[in-house]
Amino acid sequence: MTSESRTAVVVGHGMVGHRFVQTLRDRDTEGLWRVEVVCEESDPAYDRVGLSSYVGSWQRDSLALEGNTYAGDDLVVTHLGETVTDIDRSGHRVVTSSGREIDYDALILATGSYAFVPPVPGHDHKQCFVYRTLDDLDAIRVAAEAVGPGAPGVVVGGGLLGLEAANALKSMGMTPHVVEFAPRLMPMQVDDGGGAVLKNLVTDLGLTVHTGVGTANIADGESDGVTVTLSDDSEIQAALVVFSAGVRPRDQLARDAGIAVGERGGVLVDETCRTDDPDVYAIGEVAAVNGRCYGLVAPGYSTAEVVADQLLGRGSTFPGADMSTKLKLLGVDVASFGDAMATTENALEIVYHDAVAGRYAKVVVSDDATTLLGGILVGDASAYAMLKPMVGREIHGDPAALIAPAAGPGVGIDVLPDDAEICSCNGVSKGAICSAIAGGACEIADVKKATCAGTTCGGCLPSVKALLAASGVKLSKALCEHFGQSRSELFEIVSVTGIRTFSELIDRYGTGQGCEICKPTVASILASTSSDHILDGEQAALQDTNDHFLANMQKNGSYSVVPRMPGGEVTPEQLIVIGEIARDFGLYTKITGGQRIDLFGARVDQLPEIWRRLVDAGMESGHAYGKSLRTVKSCVGSTWCRYGVQDSVGMAVFLEKRYRGLRSPHKLKFGVSGCARECAEARGKDVGVIATEHGWNLYVAGNGGQSPKHAQLLAGGVDDQTLVAYIDRYLMFYVRTADRLQRTAPWLESLEGGLDHLRAVVCDDSLGLATELEASMEAHVAGYRDEWAAVLDDEEKLKRFVSFVNAPDVVDPTIRFADVDRKVPVLLDMPAMPARASASQTAVRDVTEPEREGVPT
């Protein structure tokens, strides 16, 4: 920060306020501005667009926007849980609800909007709510849980936010009614034809839709509920009412300060987003740019970036707003773009309507059918990514081909000029993406990092993939130089042909002798498709070091031993055996993050004897060495904890025993929490199970590590049987289709259609694979046998566990340990080695024989 730094005060910390702070800090390379943010909510900026995803997880941090705490940035200060109550324009100061006074050089109003509640008699009933913030959803949740599953709930408003609210009620187990005064749902986004298809689709999903009627009265109803009377005199007995009938700009603070507002509300700003006070700006939903407010995140981001540039002396102005929208409501695709309602003079409409498939598509073109003006997509919005950037541009060929498959090939990415906007959320053009690709961004993740395309809603990712392909980037599917097929293709080949050896597979479908990439990959595929022991016959030679010796090699050539403890459970007798083994073999012991005990420092020749004692004590291999299920972590759940609502330990034990030994593209970790307090940290796991009063919530594709990912909600409120069926399908689908060494989080990111596609496959059986996937898992469960127990029963396999094949009785003299406060490995530069250590050096202890006195300290 320079001595001349100025202060920007931001009032509000929603998505747009956060974007402003990020943009200013990224572009202010000289530290000209420090920022103070006043946030009314107790949570820093979160994804309000994805608010409905909060239902089920009830984890507030799951919606947190990246970098919203500005950790490590001394030029940003946030004040959570405070509101600005007064603006002293002459003194360039704001006063907050805590009495704090903050001086400013520039004031940025990012107060957003509030939920509009129509003045219906009874709108202030205690069972009436709005749908706007996390706190709002928490309040609705309490009311919904009080009445139990299946209770009716009324949503007033059938627009975008209203259907989001209805989706939330449905996710809470309620039966939603949607009341919309207009003659169709989403009247601002779709026309009558699209609205009719949308109504049919959401009705099939369990919603009751009332269109063309208003809400006339709300009064006390049955069982502490409400009676909602509609304008046609019909009544709905409901447990609660949610108002989601639109929003209004929160401009009262500006009004009180004498700052000009628009005729229809909103803080009046010019194209630089400056108010009539030159030191005050407004951004996002509260800003009325030249008199008009915009309720979408993309134009809000534009206003944030404009003001950041203005503060830095750059000449940015508001570029106008793209009001195109693409969303998925209750699993139904809806999109509109450009002049969707055909308001342009002499515009022509081309409609494709498939009532059976539940698909409606319309494009609006110029009177000579040469220019695309806009369109609507309901039921299938896959064409949106290509059509939206074409608005205002020449159509090549028959315009009907844009939406009707029978009319001919659709539009391709190649026809778009470089200035066509591919990512509207972040204003990224086709040219910018192509430049990034030319500069070496040859993967989706690289393009995201270089351009920010696809980092907000992700709707443009199909176009990004198409640009990668069109730019000549060869995204090779080959596993390695010896196999031209991908891992998933090799999996299918093995499954269909019944091939059981690497040599036969490479002879028929590959070339050469194989390598360190394809051999362990094929070994994993062979293990995933049968119950053969991984050290049987030719397969043993394919394994990497860890799998070859069924233990993890450590840095000095010794090995670790990790017995399985399903759900973290272990008996006192087993603990005693583990302690005795650690003492007798001089092993270092540690409790792992997955609720197991790790024994370090065993030589390869000691492994069989150690495991014989563990197996005799009733313990199994923990597969810490394999690309397979590692652990199922659990809290104590309802068995012990006063907050627990389900038996998390019992479920964790069941799941670990069911999926133990399952070979997969990468390691798998589970977590089972007995309540929403989430003590098992299930949402950081490949499979996360969280108990609710209504069943189990299933989360998938999370992981820790270098790139931590929150698991995402796949299904909510399911019973035990459904939970297991969904996990079976999810795991086997992953095992079949993932790339080599691809964990579930990046696998889901790379999956075409993402979570929605995965949910369709797993929960809705969209590919017709459910029975087959479950049968594959049942075959694994039925054929499971502990790998170490099998080794101990096989003299030929035991012969592998020696330090030197040609001298099986000789122990490895290079494995040594140091005595500090705990046992640690010593790496030796062989053959030179000091005869003895000086007094100032760490002593070296030879542990080539089992020690009987424990580990000295």
Q: Distance (Å, rounded) from C-alpha 80 to C-alpha 648?
A: 35
Band (841; pLDDT cuts 50, 70, 90): very low
Q: In what order do the strands lie in the sheet with 226-230?
A: 215-220, 226-230, 235-238
Whether 791 and 607 have beta carbons less than 8 Å apart is answered as: no
pLDDT confidence bin for 853, thresholds 50/70/90: very low
pLDDT band at 837 (very low <50, low <70, confident <90, very high): very low
The strand ranges marked E within 89-193 are: 93-96, 101-103, 106-109, 113-115, 128-130, 152-156, 175-180
**Peptide bond between residue 831 and the one before it cis (omega within 30 degrees of 0):** yes
pLDDT of 725 reads 96
Arithmetic mean of pLDDT, 77-100: 96
What the chain holds in terms of domains, given with CATH numbers, is 6-113+249-311 (3.50.50.60), 128-245 (3.50.50.60), 553-621+792-808+831-857 (no CATH), 629-783 (3.30.413.10)
Q: Which positions ≥6 away from 72 have C-beta within 8 Å?
A: none
Q: 284-304: per-residue pLDDT in tens?
A: 999 999 999 988 888 999 999
Query: Which residue type does 727 have?
Result: I
Q: Per residue in 501-523, pLDDT tens?
A: 888 999 899 888 887 788 888 98
* Euclidean distance between CA atoms 662 and 641, whole angstroms: 31
Mean pLDDT (whole number) for 347-373? 89
Task: Return all residues near 138 (Cβ < 8 A) that are at least 6 apart.
Answer: 58
CA dihedral (531, 533, 537, 543) positive or negative: positive
User: Which residue is it, tokens 């219906």?
Assistant: 120
pLDDT at position 330 is 66
pLDDT in tens, 577-609: 999 999 999 898 888 888 889 998 888 889 999
Average pLDDT of the chain to the nearest whole number: 86
More confident residue, 553 or 829: 553
CA distance 338 to 707: 38
- Indicate the residue type of 97: S
Least confident of 44-58, 362-376, 469-483, 663-677: 469-483
Phi and psi angles of residue 156, each rounded to the nearest 5 degrees, phi first = -90, 105
Convert the pLDDT of each residue in 209-228 to its tens digit. 999 999 999 999 988 899 99
pTM above 0.75, yes or no: no
